[in-house]
Amino acid sequence: KAGVTQTPRYLIKTRGQQVTLSCSPISGHRSVSWYQQTPGQGLQFLFEYFSETQRNKGNFPGRFSGRQFSNSRSEMNVSTLELGDSALYLCASSYGLAGGGGTDTQYFGPGTRLTVL
């Protein structure tokens, strides 16, 4: 099976702009989660989508949003970019099993490196 793919791999934006990142999950996976990784804060959970609905959300401002399409592909959007949004954005996919999902392993994509100038 093909792995999780993310596009674009690298992106440079300026403050105040907005950006959209894309994630294609592993075939058959219905859950897509997004994470932000910065040197100072490490890996932080942004949100998770399952069957086109946001099921879980981390502690990020409303400038960070996402959506999921019927084919399970997901996009995340960051509006009004700030310098501190420079980070590696990772998505991960899984089957999204219900009931706690203790064995629902997430597989990560390579990430999108966003630089805000």
Applying CB under 8 A, which residues contact another protein? 4, 31, 33, 35, 42-45, 48, 50, 55-56, 58, 88, 90, 92, 94, 96-98, 100-111, 113
Nearest CA-CA partner of 86 in 54, 115, 44? 115
Token look-up 């997004």 returns: 34
- Going from the C-alpha of 66 to that of each of 11, 40, 60, 103, the distances in angstroms are 18, 23, 12, 25
Q: Which is nearer to another protein, 24 or 94 (CB)?
A: 94
Q: Which is nearer to another protein, 26 or 81 (CB)?
A: 26
| Cβ at position 58, least distance to another protein in Å | 8
| Cβ at position 43, least distance to another protein in Å | 4
Q: Which is nearer to another protein, 54 or 80 (CB)?
A: 54
| Cβ at position 16, least distance to another protein in Å | 26
Tell the burial category of 114 from Cβ atoms under 10 Å away from its Cβ (0-12, 13-18, 19+): buried
| Cβ at position 90, least distance to another protein in Å | 5
- Going from the C-alpha of 47 to that of each of 59, 64, 108, the distances in angstroms are 9, 9, 14
